[in-house]
Amino acid sequence: MNKDIVKRTLNEANNMIETQNTVRTIAKIFKVSKSTVHKDLHDRLLDIDKELYAKVADVLKYHTNIRHIRGGQSTKEKYLNLGN
């Protein structure tokens, strides 16, 4: 695997663990697509560092578990702002 890809993958993983950022936010920070971040953190990281992968998997699982709440909050704010 290319050294740059390994370095980016490790940086993305560390960023996610430290900041609890979403895949979308990390994609913006590293200027890559969400698909690339997802592939880095799901596929490539497992081959690079299994312990780091487990930590990232916990953060990803957390984001999956709360996405319905975030979606509901966004919809609520949208309709509250329409009244202004």
pTM of the predicted structure, to 2 decimals? 0.79
By CB atoms closer than 10 A (0-12, 13-18, 19+), residue 46 is: middle
Per-residue pLDDT of the chain (84 residues; tens, 9 = 90+): 899 999 999 999 999 999 999 999 999 999 999 999 999 999 999 999 999 999 999 999 998 887 777 777 778 788 888 876
Residue 48 is predicted with a pLDDT of: 95
Contacts 24+ apart (CB under 8 A), 69-74: none
